[in-house]
């Protein structure tokens, strides 16, 4: 078993499971404290939107194991365990709403193999497993005294993290911090009368924290008050959901072929179409890139072939080719994002006899043992 083949199937399963949980929680009581008062699965549609571009990778990674950290009653862990995922539900008895009784009740009633663990993230800790494919870390970061320590340790154990936390665009005094790498330290009762609230990051501050703690951000979505959010004002609560890949566990350059690529030929090269794209996850800031390729002699017999690239709509470079071997496209990165989409266009009149495909350039494949997971000869500097 495993997660559904498509993100739409995951969404549909989440809707059905949420209804099942509502029915169960209406019928079955949790002793002394009751159930956690918020429906964790209401976040699933936004999470699905966030992870959709990389769903195949996360589905494969989930087979290694899933950690639901700050799990509440363990709703997400239980949902994923339904698909056969090895899911650990992690929270701390002293701060959990019902001292983990909700998790125990849920697992017992649904007869699921979810393991619950009492771990205090504000002290030196060890996660239950050495390796996780995916960590879910929703609504917990701003409750921690030492978020850097936790994220850094998590990057050593999990390949991917899906994280959500509170952020703010202005301080309570009205100082705009949206674009500055800062965090606001709350007073003990300053936000929702809750002394377990600590750090509210600016968006730039959270991105800086993720990068310094060993993560490459692959995508994000913002929700709630997206204009003038601040750490304390009622109704000004903003959340950000982040998908990130561990740079600690995957330190090399990551390259992924997106649109406009034909199948591998002879395990040696791939033709592109005349429009093709690459996604690049950079392990560190870089200025330039180079993509090796070649062309058959017939491709340049009639007229030179021109290849151009843009990143986020900004021109990144171009090359005109009148020879066939030793070709290398060189371009400059636009901005310093860790995740970039390179869009290439090829101007060519070439059409191979008997081949109905639209052909652009030929890109050689690297040996499968190469650290570049895309097997594509992209070099950065």
Measured from the Cβ of residue 342, the count of other Cβ atoms closer than 10 Å reads 24
The whole-number pLDDT of residue 328 equals 95
126/75 same-domain check: yes
Please identify, among 218, 246, 274, the residue that sits at the C-terminal boundary of a domain.
246
Reading the block at residue 215, the tokens are 């993560």
189/326 same-domain check: no
Provide φ and ψ at 291, rounded to 5°: -115, 120
3-state class (DSSP) for residue 129 = coil
178/204 same-domain check: yes
| Those residues with Cβ within 8 angstroms of residue 47's Cβ, 6 or more apart along the chain or in another chain | 138, 162, 241
CATH of the domain at 61: 3.40.50.150
216/289 same-domain check: no
The count of structural domains within the chain is 2
Question: In terms of residue numbers, what domain contains 276?
Answer: 254-380
Please identify, among 246, 274, 296, the residue that sits at the C-terminal boundary of a domain.
246
The tally of CA atoms less than 13 A away on the side-chain side of residue 42 is 7
Do 176 and 170 form a contact (C-beta atoms < 8 A)?
A: yes
Is 367 part of a structural domain of the chain? Answer: yes
| Those residues with Cβ within 8 angstroms of residue 358's Cβ, 6 or more apart along the chain or in another chain | 273, 274
- Rounded CA separation 84/333 (Å): 42
Dihedral in degrees, nearest 10, Cα atoms 138, 142, 144, 146: 110
Is 1 part of a structural domain of the chain? Answer: no
Provide φ and ψ at 195, rounded to 5°: -70, -5
196/287 same-domain check: no
348/212 same-domain check: no
The whole-number pLDDT of residue 366 equals 87
The whole-number pLDDT of residue 368 equals 54
Is 2 part of a structural domain of the chain? Answer: no
73/167 same-domain check: yes
114/67 same-domain check: yes
22/57 same-domain check: yes
Is 355 part of a structural domain of the chain? Answer: yes
The whole-number pLDDT of residue 252 equals 77
227/267 same-domain check: no
The whole-number pLDDT of residue 371 equals 46
Measured from the Cβ of residue 39, the count of other Cβ atoms closer than 10 Å reads 16
The whole-number pLDDT of residue 370 equals 45
111/60 same-domain check: yes
Do 346 and 272 form a contact (C-beta atoms < 8 A)?
A: yes
- Rounded CA separation 292/309 (Å): 14
Low-confidence residues in the chain, pLDDT < 70:
368-374
| Those residues with Cβ within 8 angstroms of residue 31's Cβ, 6 or more apart along the chain or in another chain | 101
3-state class (DSSP) for residue 55 = helix
| Those residues with Cβ within 8 angstroms of residue 198's Cβ, 6 or more apart along the chain or in another chain | 142, 143, 144, 145, 185, 186
- Rounded CA separation 133/57 (Å): 10
The whole-number pLDDT of residue 95 equals 94
Is 127 part of a structural domain of the chain? Answer: yes
Nearest to 215 by CA among 241, 246, 254, 249: 246
The whole-number pLDDT of residue 267 equals 87
- pTM for the predicted model, two decimal places: 0.84
CATH of the domain at 370: 2.60.120
- Rounded CA separation 353/287 (Å): 40
Please identify, among 197, 212, 246, the residue that sits at the C-terminal boundary of a domain.
246
Nearest to 85 by CA among 111, 120, 59: 59
- Rounded CA separation 213/206 (Å): 10
181/138 same-domain check: yes
């Amino acid at each position: 078993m495993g997660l559904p083949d498509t993100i739409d199937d995951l969404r549909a399963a989440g809707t059905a499971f949420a209804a099942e949980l509502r029915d169960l929680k209406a019928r079955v009581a949790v002793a002394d404290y009751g159930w956690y008062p918020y429906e964790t699965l209401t976040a699933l549609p936004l999470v699905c939107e966030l992870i959709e571009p990389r769903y195949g990778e996360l589905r494969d990674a989930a087979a290694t194991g899933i950690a639901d950290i700050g799990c509440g009653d363990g709703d997400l862990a239980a949902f994923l365990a339904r698909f056969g995922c090895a899911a650990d539900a992690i929270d701390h008895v002293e701060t959990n709403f019902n001292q983990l009784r909700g998790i125990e009740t849920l697992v017992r009633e649904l007869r699921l193999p979810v393991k619950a663990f009492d771990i205090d993230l504000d002290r030196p800790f060890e996660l239950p497993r050495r390796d996780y494919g995916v960590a879910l870390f929703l609504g917990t970061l701003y409750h921690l005294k030492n978020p850097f320590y936790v994220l850094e340790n998590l990057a050593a154990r999990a390949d991917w993290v899906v994280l959500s936390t509170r952020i703010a665009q202005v301080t309570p005094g009205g100082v705009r911090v949206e674009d500055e790498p800062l965090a606001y330290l709350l007073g003990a009762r300053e936000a929702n009368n809750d002394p377990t609230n600590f750090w509210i990051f600016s968006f730039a501050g959270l991105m800086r924290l993720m990068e310094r703690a060993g993560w490459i951000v692959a995508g994000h979505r913002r929700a709630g008050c997206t204009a003038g959010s601040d750490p304390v004002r009622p109704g000004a609560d903003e959340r950000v959901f982040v998908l990130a890949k561990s740079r600690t566990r995957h330190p090399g350059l990551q390259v992924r072929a997106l649109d406009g690529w034909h199948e591998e030929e002879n395990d040696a090269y791939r033709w592109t179409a005349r429009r093709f794209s690459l996604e690049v996850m950079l392990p560190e800031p870089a200025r330039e890139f180079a993509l090796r390729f070649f062309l058959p002699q017939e491709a340049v017999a009639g007229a030179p072939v021109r290849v151009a690239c843009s990143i986020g709509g900004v021109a990144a470079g171009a090359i005109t080719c009148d020879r066939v071997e030793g070709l290398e496209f060189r371009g400059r990165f636009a901005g310093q994002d860790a995740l970039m989409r390179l869009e290439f266009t090829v101007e060519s009149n070439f059409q191979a006899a008997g081949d109905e495909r639209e052909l652009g350039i030929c890109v050689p494949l690297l040996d499968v043992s190469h650290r570049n997971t895309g097997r594509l000869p992209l070099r950065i500097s």
